[in-house]
Structure 1
Amino acid sequence: MRDAPRLTWTERGALALLLGVFLILGIYYALDNPLCKPDEAYHYAYAFHLRSGHGLPVIRVIPGRTQFTPVEMEAHQPPLYYAGVAGIAALLNMQERIIPSVNPYLLGTLEGNRCLTTPLYSTFPESPIFFTGRLVSLVCGAMALLFAYLLCRAFLPWPVALLSAAFMGFNPQYLFIATSFSNDMPVTALVHLGLWRLGRAIQIGLDRRQAFVLGGIVAGATLTKLTGLGLLIPLGGIAFWQAWRTRRGQPLLDAGLAALVVAVGGSWWFWRNWRLYGNPFATHLLTILLGRRSSPWTLEDLRDFLVYVWRSYWLAFSPGDLLFAEPPVYGGIGLICLLALFGLLKALHRNRSIRLLFALVWGWFLLVFASFLILTRSTPIFIGGGRLLFPAAIALGATLAVGLTELFRRFPFVPAGFAVLLAVYAASAPIRYIHPAYPRPHLVRTLEHPPTHPSGISFGDGYFELIGYDLQLTQIAGRPALAITYYWRTLRETSRSFSVFIHLQTRRDGHLVLLTQVDTYPGYGAHPTSAWRRDWIFIDRLALPLPPPESVFSGTVVTGLYDLPTMERLPAYDRDGRRFPADAVPLADLWVDAAGALHLSAPADAGGQR
């Protein structure tokens, strides 16, 4: 039996410094980064659904149905995190001025539209519920580090325990997910709280009080995310081990008490799932929401999966994991991890007292990984990524800390240097990767230079004015394109998100024929009209792919705004108040001559010059 170590003032100060740096970085990640983190729009829709008083969402399971609403995409998840955010929003009477939503044009254009959520950026005053969800997640991420530290401190000297938490928390992807609107960090915090209590149970023995507390922790984790239910497996293993060592059945009874607490605490949720979906855990809904894999896994699939998990564990800064770090970054981290693993094996051979710690954390890591693998094998995509391993993140953090400390026993500053380097990399990662890929909308009060083609066109009942536009021939994905820079001024604010259409059309036999088109929210979803503010000018560059170079064509490029749900176009008026036919504003004439040369000119009837 071993008493819990008392924290000295030096140790407390070092721990406070670690958590303080993490929270500072987290606030930066939460408030400054775009709203394009994995699945945030779906998780937010769940909490907003509860905040609106609609109760727990239900997935309508209909044979053959393939399209689901944003709230349905996460409706299989337990509700504790979402109810907590909704409760805070209700208590503080929070109201969204800008409601983040799913971008209907995601990946629908050759460039842009790479973010699931629209708008791309917002602020706390404009979207307080959304950012409250992020900050709740951040607090949970810090709590997970605290509990991970306490777990390691029960077996390790405090500098090594602190280093374990540092390697866990300064992982750029951990910070990225710890500041996302999702239940990943709340369950990570509760699981690491449970692992800490399991570590204490290993040291002092499992008793009735410990079992009751552990049961409550596992119940809370389970009602946050189903991953938490898996803690019953190491709890059962510890109970069997202690029963075998003591030749007494009391540890098994205590473990049974913990399981009973979990069953009672989660019974209503399991019963609800059983009644609605015929499955108490609702895990089968993933294949309904995401589709079912049509072919068995191959060795190549397994290899791709492992590479994907490794990369997305450290840095994958976008939905769909489109934004990775440079390959040498993953290679360098991998080399350090291999060195740490070698050092850990040496430490385990030399120090028997830490073996139970690593048996616990790596046993749990393998359980989480196995469940992740089983789930993703049934879907056509690799779901989640490395973030789904964060409930077991202390396994890697402790391995790095203990392994590197063992290897560099004569140079103790080296492991700390690696942790500091990781923190610096995490601090610079948004500037290096996110901001160039997802630039902020270009907003100004006044124009320094007038548009090349002034227009003065108004849309709707005095909502927006197209001050003018620029035209430029360019290329997208190796094919010719016309870049159009719009200069929009907001005259009246609206909560509706109107779409922009750009059509290249021609006349054949007296009928309009569409040659090519682009439909998108303004800014490729980065700055929809619902986020536009009065008297601000939004400079927006969109591009229209053109027919192949070998095509001989002539046509007119027209543009306008429409409401996507109804497909109704906003009325478009020239500066004299005359309405454009079909509410389509001509921007340019394009034609390819017999020699294959592409010509561009602005039409004479644009902007009321008719």
Structure 2
Amino acid sequence: MSLIGLSYFSRIIILEKNVNLTLKPNTSNDPVRFVSISRAYRPLVTLLGLFAIISFLYSVTTPIFEAPDEKDHFRYINWLADGNEIPHIIEDLAIVGHEIGQPPLYYATVALFVAPIDRSDLETIAEDNPYWRKGAGPNVHYHTGAERFPYKKSTLAVHVARLASIGMGMITIVSTYFIARHLIPKHALWAAAFVAFTPQFAFLSGIINNDNLIITLSSLTLLVLVGIVQIPHFSIWRYLLLGILWGGAILAKLSGIALGGVIVLGLLAVAWKEKSWLRLWAGLPIISIGLLSVSGWWFWRNWNLYGHPLAWEALITANAGLVRAEALSWWKALRVSTYLHQSYWALFGYGIPAPTIFYWFANGIAALAVIGIVIRVWQRKTPQPAIIIIGILTGWLLIMTAALLNWIRQLAATEQGRLIFPAIASITILFVWGLSALPYQQWIKRITLGGLGIWAAVLPLMVIVPAFATPSLLSPSIVVPNSQHVEFGSGIWLRGFEVENRSIESGQSLVIDLYWQAAQPIDESYTVSVHAVDAAGRAVAKLDTIPYNGRFPTPVWPQGQTFRDSYTLPPLAETAVPGQGSIIVKLYPWRQTEKMLPIAIDGNQIGTTLLLTEFKIKPVDDTVYQPSFTTNVTFGNTARLIGYDASSTAANDIIPITLYWESIAADPIDYTVFVHLLDTNGNLVAQADSLPQNGRFPTSIWEAGEIIADEHQFHLPEKLQAGEYAVIIGLYNPQNGARLQAQSDGNRVLNDAVSILSLTIKP
């Protein structure tokens, strides 16, 4: 739906005209004029609808509390919604969380919407994942089916709160539109759409965060300030409104204090424009009245409770874990801030990036915008009123940038693009001002808005949904492959498995599907350890992970329901010995390898390591074998003996024998190679039976056409009597002792055994 709407909106915005929306009193009550105004605003309304859909998409695809600090933001809202007073930063910190030091306006506003909703299950949903910071998957919280639609209780309250944030984002877009009309009236809708289609802004507007309100109030403050600069007469009400908005911004977030800088800058611009200080000195007191009428009580409360109008020391205490031991230098803070470009455009959850190509696209737009700005400045054709507006927008951007850099210097984890979003209206309007100066303006408009809009619409499905996806639960009627009855510890059952490719080379990866089931609730988060072992018994690939790539830890497994989890092991080591390898599985508490869970098969304890199944490691070389003696003896439809190496001279009573087999066709049976020593009467004197390559390369993994060099060490018995002896070889089924039929030149070989060596033992 959002993509269809984008297509429709792109047609509107490309045809956007400079419509004069200056409203005059409608003394004639002319309905035609109302209709014309409605039509003029229709593109903006369409844009708001598209934004609401896209932001809502981010909201419903992001699991609750998987946005930065969202849980603590909601805990503050919940506290107020329960009828409590503004929390004490120190005394109520453990209950409300570290966002407790924030001013209360955003939380009080959203609390009005969630107060009627039952939130009694808040402490039992989306529980904290204690292993997240240690690398146990992307989930900061454990998520269960209780969060799925239709939403209930606290989950419903969270989504209602997110809807309130979307409303704030819509006001920011409208404010950007009307600010832009003062500077670039033909491209105001372009600027508004630029804000709406910035993926990070759409994401932020779809979650719970007080940044949403400070962004809205900052944009409204800029709108009123630009209006004051533009009007030729002094308006007490405009100045009073400016102070009220400034006070509201401070009550939304302390960074709202920085608006004082751009307000002063705007009033100085008015004084310069009119060559008079009257409006500056008359306006400042009125602005102060508006400011203090809204936020004065907040400063007074902080002073009484904490001895500081901003409660600074208490605020630092609440965020002690983020305070740097030593403030960064400005230069180092600037270097750290290079990360901001990514988080400005798109960085979801706790560090989930968009595809790299998106950042190339977005940064390309920014580069073009900067080029356009340079062209406009170089041309010096901008009229004075526009220069003043550009100065205000640029000044606010610089003020916010300096404030953010100073914040980065003092606190860790603050290099986040959303923290500069109070200036997003300034950024986008300046960008569009620059882009509109370039050639092929219409094409640039199509590409920037079409591209950003499509990216904004698809990123929730392309990035967020896969990042938090959980496995589908299997119906009881589904037959699990390779059914197992293996229990790890108490209550964790392995019901089956499947291996995607059982024959691979070194450098390739095994993909193994395990079918898990919890017989009872599991309190601890366990790591699944899957290892591939080569024919020599050495681990050549291993993967230790929380189930479903960290997205489905054992504490959230639904009782009695089976699911499939796929494990892609790293490529096999280049040193892996060819032959039959093994896949083993173990479970242990996260990062506690010394506490491997005991394993039972059908109730019988087997230790702590499960030999799941075997696989084949194929030789990677193309060795051409040159047997000393060639033969052409077939053994059933399984193998052909094409030659052998043997010596009639024993060294230390050991005769080395190498048999060269060619596989005729795959055979699931593991045949044993017998090497027998017979006397002249055909009596068995000695034998050395084993699987090919001493078990490393059994016949069940042979592939048609494959050549296998099979080495045997035949030990002569002690005190062997003098006489003539023969060494014979063949293949038999160890399950029943039946030998594979041996044929040479179409004739069956006697006893299905091939004589390969004659020995003379002297007295």
Aligned pairs for 1:198-237 (under 5 A) are 198-204=225-231, 207-237=235-265
Matches within 5 A, 1:75-224: 75-94=100-119, 96=121, 99-109=125-135, 113-119=137-143, 122-124=147-149, 125=151, 127-157=155-185, 159-204=186-231, 207-224=235-252
User: Which residue of 259, 263, 266 maps to 2:291?
Assistant: 259
Decide whether the 8 Å contact of 1:473 with 1:480 is kept in 2: no
SS of alignment partner, residue 101 of structure 2: coil
Distance 1:282 1:333 in 2: 42
Equivalent residue letter for 1:372: L
- Structure-2-length-normalised TM-score: 0.61
Number of the residue aligned with 1:513: none
Cross-structure match for 1:349:
381
Determine if contact 2:302/2:308 at 8 Å carries over to the other structure: no
Q: 1:267-296, CA deviations, whole angstroms, 9 ceiling, x for partnerless residues?
A: 255337725999348563586221415474
As a proportion of its length, which structure holds more helix?
A: 1
Alignment of 1:31-430 (within 5 A): 31-35=60-64, 36-51=66-81, 72-94=97-119, 96=121, 99-109=125-135, 113-119=137-143, 122-124=147-149, 125=151, 127-157=155-185, 159-204=186-231, 207-242=235-270, 245-248=275-278, 249-267=281-299, 270-271=302-303, 274=306, 279-280=311-312, 284-285=316-317, 288-294=320-326, 296-297=328-329, 299=331, 302-306=334-338, 308-320=339-351, 325-326=356-357, 328-345=360-377, 349-381=381-413, 383-408=414-439, 411-412=441-442, 414-430=444-460
In 2, Cα distance between equivalents of 1:403 and 1:216? 32
User: What is the match of residue 537 of structure 1?
Assistant: 562
Aligned pairs for 1:557-596 within 5 A: 557-559=585-587, 587-588=610-611
Report SS of the residue matched to 2:525. strand
d(CA) in 1 for partners of 2:116, 2:192: 33
Is the 8 Å Cα contact of residues 42 and 73 (structure 1) preserved in structure 2? yes
Q: Which piece of structure 1 moves more, 387-396 or 223-232?
A: 223-232
Displacement of 1:59 after TM fit?
5.8
Q: What amino acid is the match of 1:222?
A: I
The CA distance in 2 between the partners of 1:179 and 1:354, in whole Å, is 34
1:539 partner SS? strand
Deviation at 1:22, TM superposition (A): 0.9
Query: Residue 244 of structure 2 contacts residue 287 of structure 2 at CA under 8 Å; is this kept in 1?
Result: no
| Counterpart for residue 22 of structure 2 | 5
Write the letter of the residue equivalent to 1:454: Q
Aligned residue identity for 1:115: N
Give 1:20 deviation, angstroms. 1.0
Residues 221, 331 of structure 1: alpha-carbon distance in 2 compared, 3 angstrom cutoff: closer
Q: What's the TM-score once normalised by structure 1's chain length?
A: 0.75
Residue in structure 1 matching 2:484, options 426, 440, 454: 454
Structure 1 counterpart of 2:463:
433
Counterpart-to-counterpart distance in 1, 2:471 and 2:109 = 32
Residues 216, 262 of structure 1: 8 Å contact kept: yes
Instruction: Determine helix, strand or coil for the equivalent of 1:114.
Output: coil
Deviation at 1:390, TM superposition (A): 1.0
Query: Taking structure 1 as reference, are residues 216 and 331 closer, same or farther at Cα in structure 2, changes over 3 Å only?
Result: closer
Deviations 1:93-143 (A, max 9, x none): 35658722432222534xx61233433994351521222232222221111
- Greater CA radius of gyration, 1 or 2? 2
Question: How far did residue 182 of structure 1 move?
Answer: 1.4
- Is the contact between residue 38 and residue 319 of structure 1 (CA under 8 Å) also seen in structure 2? yes
How far apart, CA to CA, are the structure 2 residues paired with 1:134 and 1:433?
20
Q: How does 1:517-536 map to 2 (within 5 A)?
A: 520=546, 522-528=547-553, 532=557, 536=561
CA-CA distance at 1:471 after TM superposition? 7.4
SS at match of 1:78: coil
In structure 1, what residue type is equivalent to 2:190? L
Asked if 1 retains the 8 angstrom alpha-carbon contact of 2:179 and 2:226, the reply is yes
Q: Is the alpha carbon distance of 1:52 and 1:4 closer, same or farther for their aligned partners in structure 2, counting shifts above 3 Å?
A: same
Displacement of 1:370 after TM fit? 0.7
Residue equivalent to 2:31 = none
- Distance in 1 of aligned mates of 2:411 and 2:383: 43
Q: Given the superposition, is the C-alpha separation of residues 50 and 196 from structure 1 closer, same or farther in structure 2, using an over 3 Å criterion?
A: same
1:165-202 Cα deviation digits (max 9, x unpaired): 11122112211222122122122112111211212222
**What SS does structure 1 have at the residue aligned with 2:139?**
coil
Change (3 A) 1:469 1:300: same
- The 8 Å contact of residues 465 and 490 in structure 1, kept in 2 or not, is answered as yes
1:458–1:574 contact (8 Å) kept in structure 2: yes
Task: Determine the structure 1 residue equivalent to 2:684.
Answer: none
1:312–1:447 Cα change, 3 Å: farther
* Alignment of 1:17 onto 2:46: yes
Deviations along 1:337-391, one digit per CA (max 9) or x if unpaired, are 223323543686333322222222221111111110001012344x141111111
Q: State the one-letter code of the partner of 2:403.
A: S
Select between 83-92 and 136-145 the one with higher mean Cα deviation: 83-92
Change in Cα spacing, 1:588 to 1:574, as seen in structure 2 (3 Å) is closer
Identity %: 24
- Residues 145/322 of structure 1: CA separation in 2 closer, same or farther (3 Å cut): closer
Is the partner of 2:132 in helix, strand or coil? coil
Change (3 A) 1:443 1:164: same
Q: Tell me if the contact between 1:344 and 1:399 (Cα under 8 Å) persists in the aligned partners.
A: no
Question: Structure 1 residues 219-228 or 432-441, which shifts more?
Answer: 432-441
Alpha-carbon offset, residue 150 of structure 1: 2.0
Q: CA deviation at 1:164?
A: 1.0
Letter in 1 for 2:473: L
CA distance in structure 2 between the aligned counterparts of 1:52 and 1:546, rounded to whole angstroms: 54
Give the match for residue 14 of structure 2.
Answer: none
Higher relative contact order (CA 8 A, sep 6+): 1
Is 1:96–1:129's contact at 8 Å kept on the other side of the alignment? Answer: no
Letter in 1 for 2:393: V
